[in-house]
Amino acid sequence: MGWQEFLSTARSSAKQIEVLTFRIGNGGRDWTESGVKTHTTTLTNPTEAAAIMELTVVPRLVEQREHCERTVGEALAAIQTVRDRLGATEADILEMFYIDGLLSWEIAGELRLTVDGVFYRKRKALAWMDENLPMVG
């Protein structure tokens, strides 16, 4: 796995943290904002179902969230190395794209670069990472 693939995984992990935190806060239940349940259980006793969710599902969700947090943390540490050794703009682009989930045109507007400039600097940073940083994860 190269850095681009790892950072893409970190991007997915960053998105998952919010979802997992929501589900953990709801005792493992997956509810939409309108209150409609988005998955079903075969248990008919709500108290029993809640207890089983609390004992089985919630610990797995916590473990998944911790894994996602570690992945994002490793990605941020690598991006900090890019910031220290290559430059702040390249690191900002990586963080905005892979952690914040912004699109290239959004990054270009934020950093006052062209979209081609964002693409070039992102590729440059990834190439530098592949050549100079050992893989994590």
Domain borders along the chain are 3-132
Taking CA atoms, 60 is separated from 23, 24, 30, 42, 135, in Å, by 11, 10, 14, 19, 26
| Nearest-angstrom CA–CA distance, 41 and 21 | 21
Model confidence over 73-124: pLDDT tens digits?
999 999 999 999 999 999 999 999 999 999 999 999 999 999 999 999 999 9
| Residue-level length of the chain | 137
Longest dimension (CA), the chain: 58
10: pLDDT strictly greater than 60: yes
Q: What are the residue ranges of helices labelled H in 26-136? A: 46-52, 58-85, 88-94, 104-111, 115-132
Q: Which region among 34-38, 41-45, 69-73, 108-112 has the lowest average model confidence (pLDDT)?
A: 34-38
Cβ neighbours of 60 (radius 10 Å): 12
pLDDT at 14 over 90: yes
Backbone angles phi, psi at 52, to 5 degrees: -65, -40
Could you tell me the CA-to-CA distances from 53 to 17, 32, 37, 42, 64 in Å, in that order?
A: 19, 17, 14, 12, 15
Cross-strand pairs, 31: 37
